Amino acid sequence: MIIFSERINGMYRDVRGAIADRNKEVIHRLLAEQLAGGADVIDLNIGPTKGDPAENFLWLAQAVHEVTDKPLSLDSAKANVLVQAVPAVREALPDTGLVINSCTAAREYMDKLLPLAVQYRCGIIGLTMDQDGVPGNVEKRVECGASFLMAAIEAGIPTEDIYLDPIILPIHAAPKQQIHAVEAIRQLAAVSDPPPRFIVGLSNVSQKCPLHKLLNRTYLVMCLAAGLDAAICDAADRDLIDAMITAEALLGKHLYSDDYLRAWRMQKGLAC
Amino acid sequence: MPLPEVKEKWSGRVHPVTLGATPAEGGTRGRTVTIGGASGIPFLDFDGETPHAPAIAMDVLDVAPSDWPKPLADVYADVWSDPAAWARRVKELGADLVNLRLVGTHPDEGDRTPEQAVETVRAVLDAVDLPLVIWGCDVPAKDQVVMPRVAEAAQGENCLLGAATETEYRTLAAAALAYHHKLIALAPCDINKSKQVNMLVSDTGYPLADLVIYPTTASLGYGMEYVYSILERGRLAALSGDRLMAQPVILDVGYEAWRCKEARTGDEAAAAWGPAALRGPAWEAVTAADLLQGGADLIVMRHPKAVETVRRLIDGLLAPTA
């Protein structure tokens, strides 16, 4: 599974403060934990910070790039922010992999963000929703996912750079939506050839729940069994990563050995 | 009707491992032999490259064998009490490497001393300029005394030493590391264990890229399919990017084939089974041919007729398609 680190996010007070104070140390410390846990892509979200969003994104991207040359995903729900931030980050980091997080299947969003992804050589995450909001059922999710996928392929984005996110909602706020998202992954994987990558914003499922870690890792395993390829999650949550490795071994994605957890970390060059 | 596309997109490949060292590389071998390196399923040239053909090592024992049947005795009996002469013989017969077994160091089979083992290794190194595979006697307590001495004596020659196992790997890995030899990692017919042994050996600081996997071997008619499926799964894991399973594979075909009654029985069975002079080599050649398809990179063999047949098969399978 491709691990998108969720921790460099301005929704967290420490990150928000670090962006405001231009304090790289905080970012570097959090990043070290995420990398030690096995993060493959660093998701950057500036949260509700003050100042120019594109400048904040650029500062954050450069602060992260000082430590690692792993790909970055630029995370904002506002298309206009991404339209400014993506060119700025691309200019500063010409060789770094970038992922736009995220776009919806609404025409207005796709018209802005798909050409942007092509022009600046970015992967892109498409949410399975359109102008009508988050679907309340599986069918609409599949419909939105399929139309985003078709539009992205037509725009010229390689399938392996297209991610579909079936939108994960908190269990206490929207029960049944969790299994809808799992089913949407299963159905979209079955109808697309070659399939895009499937990704979830994992921690949404457990927002404001006391047993959030248990919910996260249980749900991750369910999604992996349906065909999930990537998750935005806390790479420093060792139990979560252990559950992911175990699920992948059981799904036959890697060869089992008695020390399979260590084998996985060893192959990623992580301390065991 | 158009043919369906069956080509796979692999992310990994088998590590290439080079054996032997020429004078320019600090050894005295006439040439080196590289095994592994494949980036696809064996012998499917559309699927991936096979930069190095599977190599053939031929058996030489440190003491005269007591139980080799007539078809083998006919070829080796005049040299088998002298490992150096025997090594020269297998070179003449077309071996890529000499597979030297120090069976005489076994406590119950002569209990030769480490000094005598060293003498044998030196004699073989002096007699031929082929790279060497060197095995102990499979008794850990004895191998731990003999193999470090042998490794030291062959320093600079970049030999392949056998074999590290799940319980006995530290001494051999340390000796191979200290004297710059390649190392065989053995896990009997268990691919999950194989990955585990590779990991354990790697924990000692020995490089994964210098290992060769030995999954043990089974002959035609005696469980060969089991080894075949392990070879297949191992190759697929390597091609999928599993670095702990990306090592080339050595198989001991000659020993296993010549243990079978179909190969050993003499001409008293000729009426039903055909002449012994052909039957044994055929058994060995067919076993090798099958296991090569599964993904063997280095095979140890005995009979020159079998070697000749298998060599022709490899050349044919790797010949560029028109």
Residue with tokens 């070879």: B231
In B, which residues are within 8 Å of A267 by CB distance? 242-244
Q: Does B70 touch chain A (CB under 8 A)?
A: no
Asked if A254's CB is within 8 angstroms of B242's CB, the reply is yes
Query: Residue A171: which of A204, A141, A198 has the closest Cα?
Result: A204
Hey, what are B243's tokens? 């670095």
pTM of the model: 0.88
Q: Let me know the angle formed at the C-alpha of B39 by B36 and B42, rounded to the nearest 5 degrees.
A: 70
The reported pLDDT for the residue numbered A237 is 98
For chain B, what percent of residues have pLDDT higher than 90? 95
CA atoms of B252 and B232, how far apart (whole Å) = 17
Span B92-101, mean pLDDT? 98
For chain A, what percent of residues have pLDDT higher than 70? 100
Residue with tokens 């994104």: A57
**Strands of B182-186's sheet in order across:** B211-214, B182-186, B160-164, B132-135, B97-101, B55-61, B298-301, B250-252
In A, which residues are within 8 Å of B237 by CB distance? 254-255
Asked if A254's CB is within 8 angstroms of B199's CB, the reply is no
ipTM: 0.78
Contacts of A255 (CB under 8 A, 6+ apart): B191, B192, B195, B233, B237, B242, B244, B245
Span B275-300, mean pLDDT? 97
Q: Does B191 touch chain A (CB under 8 A)?
A: yes
A93 secondary structure, DSSP code: -
pLDDT band at A180 (very low <50, low <70, confident <90, very high): very high
Whether residue A193 is predicted with pLDDT greater than 90 in this model: the reply is no
Whether residue A155 is predicted with pLDDT greater than 80 in this model: the reply is yes
Beta B160-164 vs B132-135: how paired, if at all?
Answer: parallel
Q: Taking an 8 Å Cβ-Cβ cutoff, which residues of chain A contact chain B?
A: 254-259, 262-263, 266-267
B14 secondary structure, DSSP code: P
**A252: closest CA of chain B, how far (Å):** 10
Report the phi/psi class of residue B235: left, alpha or beta, with left for phi > 0 and alpha for psi in -120 to 50. Answer: alpha
Are A32 and A2 contacting, i.e. CB atoms less than 8 angstroms apart?
Answer: no
- Please report the number of interchain residue pairs, chain A to chain B, with beta-carbon separation below 8 angstroms: 35
Q: Does B239 touch chain A (CB under 8 A)?
A: no
The reported pLDDT for the residue numbered B322 is 62
Q: What are the CA-CA distances from residue B183 to residues A258, B171, B197, B214 (Å)?
A: 22, 12, 12, 10
Q: Which among B195, B240, B243 has the least Cβ separation from residue A257? A: B195
Chain A interface test: which of B8, B166, B195, B239 (most A C-beta within 10 Å): B195
Whether residue B3 is predicted with pLDDT greater than 90 in this model: the reply is no
Are A54 and A85 contacting, i.e. CB atoms less than 8 angstroms apart?
Answer: yes
B51 secondary structure, DSSP code: -
CA atoms of A200 and A220, how far apart (whole Å) = 9
Q: Does B244 touch chain A (CB under 8 A)?
A: yes
Chain A interface test: which of B169, B200, B242 (most A C-beta within 10 Å): B242
Span A265-271, mean pLDDT? 91
- Measured between CA atoms, the residue of chain B closest to residue A256 is B192
Phi, psi of A198 (to 5 degrees): -105, 135
Asked if A255's CB is within 8 angstroms of B195's CB, the reply is yes
Span A193-204, mean pLDDT? 95
Characterize B240-279 residue by residue with b for buried, 16 or more Cβ atoms within 10 angstroms of its Cβ, and e for exposed.
bebbbbbbbbbbbbbbbbbebebbbbeeeeeeeeeebbeb
Span A216-241, mean pLDDT? 98
Characterize A184-208 residue by residue with b for buried, 16 or more Cβ atoms within 10 angstroms of its Cβ, and e for exposed.
bbbbbbeebeebbbbbbbbbbbbee
In A, which residues are within 8 Å of B232 by CB distance? none
For chain A, what percent of residues have pLDDT higher than 90? 96
The helix/strand/coil state of B230 is helix
Span B131-137, mean pLDDT? 98
For chain B, what percent of residues have pLDDT higher than 70? 100
The pLDDT tens digits for B199-242 are 999 999 999 999 999 999 999 999 999 999 999 999 999 999 99
Average pLDDT, chain A: 96
- First-residue to last-residue Cα distance in chain A: 18
The reported pLDDT for the residue numbered B93 is 98
Hey, what are B309's tokens? 């047949």
**A8: closest CA of chain B, how far (Å):** 29
List the beta strands (DSSP E) in chain B.
17-19, 33-35, 55-61, 97-101, 132-135, 160-164, 182-186, 211-214, 250-252, 298-301
Whether residue B9 is predicted with pLDDT greater than 90 in this model: the reply is no
Span A232-244, mean pLDDT? 98
pLDDT band at B118 (very low <50, low <70, confident <90, very high): very high
The pLDDT tens digits for B52-65 are 999 999 999 999 99
The reported pLDDT for the residue numbered B275 is 96
Asked whether the bond before A102 is cis by omega within 30 degrees of 0, the reply is: yes
Q: Which of residues 202-221 of B touch A (CB under 8 A)?
A: 202
Asked if A262's CB is within 8 angstroms of B237's CB, the reply is no
The reported pLDDT for the residue numbered B4 is 79
Length of chain A measured in residues: 272
Phi, psi of B74 (to 5 degrees): -60, -30
CA atoms of B42 and B299, how far apart (whole Å) = 14
- Measured between CA atoms, the residue of chain B closest to residue A272 is B203
Asked if A267's CB is within 8 angstroms of B243's CB, the reply is yes
